[in-house]
Chain A
Amino acid sequence: MEINLEQTSLYELLKVPTCRDEGFRRLMAKYGDRLYWHIRRIVVGHDDAEDTLQETCVKILSAIDSLHSSDKLISWIYSIATNESLRHLRRQTRLFQSIDALGPALTSKLEAENPIDGQEVEMAFQKALLTLPTQQRIVFNMRYYDDMSYEEISAITGKNVGTLKTNYHYATEKIRKYINNNSI
């Protein structure tokens, strides 16, 4: 997540009301696909990801005035995408149910959307991920798929680096154990 001139110019465009729409289009053209995949990995379902991406875009555009530094632009949009994804998951829970309990439902969704054979390893890996608590899963995804540093993840999640390292460590251990237990 390099801080560069493009990020600064995007920020400046977004801050000028008359250029905001254009700035937003450029921002999403550059980072939209990454945001989509980030959301998709959290909410799992395709339709859920599409809805959450839409909600994320609306939230980014409406809250742009609350952003006060170009350095934080990318971590800020990732934070919004993460929060909107978590909000979307919470809507699927029953009263007093934690989103961590959605693992089996998300696994069913994953299987229903991917019935094609020949992807056993990928499917098993995704199923292992869905056994993780949501917080660990998000940290693992950002570290593993997006190659983010702990500092970058910290800026997005608001958790300290030590906690994130612990989350990632536990996540990898659980995935390893799941794969060994399921003889993959």
Chain B
Amino acid sequence: MTKDKHIEMPYHEADGYVNHLVTSATEGAIHKQKQNRSVHSLRTIAAAAAVALLLVGGAVTYYYNNTPASPTMVVQNQPSPVDDFLNSLSDEDVQMLTYYELEEITVE
């Protein structure tokens, strides 16, 4: 591949000017590539941090949701159905219930 031209082109750029353009484009591309690498690194770090945060958050949520509550807490927080029933009784209801009390069987 030679640089000889059969008919010269009507363009006027001198060799020095073209060399300057090439150098400028070369350095510009290298600079842009470095910038892209930095942005890429930052994005990678941010993505890794986001993933780590999600994992830690998930682990903490899982831990709290799956830790068994103490028996005392169960008693305090979850009254039995019998307790519910007794608490819901009014005084009249309690008096009514006494009609159904069985008499003591005495053995003579």
B is a partner of A: yes
List A residues at the B interface (Cβ < 8 Å): 1-2, 21, 24-25, 28-29, 32-37, 40-41, 46, 50, 53-54, 56-58, 60-62, 110, 113-114, 119, 121-123, 125-126, 144-148, 152
The distance in angstroms between the C-alpha atoms of A110 and B12, with both chains bound, is 12
Inter-subunit contact B8/A122 (CB<8 Å): yes
Q: Which residues of A contact B23 (CB under 8 A)?
A: 28-29, 32
Query: Please, what's the 1-or-0 string for B9-48, where 1 marks a CB less than 8 Å from any CB in chain A?
Result: 1111101001101110110111011001000000000000
Inter-subunit contact A40/B1 (CB<8 Å): no
Instruction: Given A25-B26, A40-B11, decide whether A53 and B6 contact each other with a Cβ distance below 8 A.
Output: no
Smallest CB separation, A114 vs chain B (Å): 5
Inter-subunit contact B26/A24 (CB<8 Å): yes
Task: Provide a sorted-by-A list of 24 A–B residue pairs whose CB atoms are within 8 angstroms.
Answer: A24-B30, A28-B26, A29-B22, A29-B23, A33-B19, A41-B9, A50-B21, A53-B21, A54-B25, A54-B28, A57-B26, A57-B28, A58-B28, A58-B29, A58-B33, A61-B33, A62-B33, A62-B36, A114-B11, A114-B12, A122-B7, A126-B10, A146-B1, A147-B1
Instruction: Given A33-B15, A147-B1, decide whether A123 and B22 contact each other with a Cβ distance below 8 A.
Output: no
The distance in angstroms between the C-alpha atoms of A40 and B30, with both chains bound, is 22
Q: Which residues of B contact A50 (CB under 8 A)?
A: 21, 25
Q: Which residues of A contact B3 (CB under 8 A)?
A: 34
Nearest B-chain residue to A145, judged by Cβ: B5
Inter-subunit contact B21/A110 (CB<8 Å): no
B2 within 8 A of A: yes
The distance in angstroms between the C-alpha atoms of A161 and B63, with both chains bound, is 69
Q: Which residues of B contact A1 (CB under 8 A)?
A: 1
The distance in angstroms between the C-alpha atoms of A99 and B18, with both chains bound, is 26
Q: Which residues of A contact B36 (CB under 8 A)?
A: 62
Q: Which residues of B contact A41 (CB under 8 A)?
A: 9
Q: Which residues of A contact B1 (CB under 8 A)?
A: 1-2, 34, 146-148, 152
B4 within 8 A of A: yes
Inter-subunit contact B25/A32 (CB<8 Å): yes
Inter-subunit contact A61/B22 (CB<8 Å): no
The distance in angstroms between the C-alpha atoms of A57 and B31, with both chains bound, is 11
Smallest CB separation, A15 vs chain B (Å): 15
Smallest CB separation, A54 vs chain B (Å): 5
Inter-subunit contact B4/A33 (CB<8 Å): no
Q: Which residues of B contact A57 (CB under 8 A)?
A: 25-26, 28-29
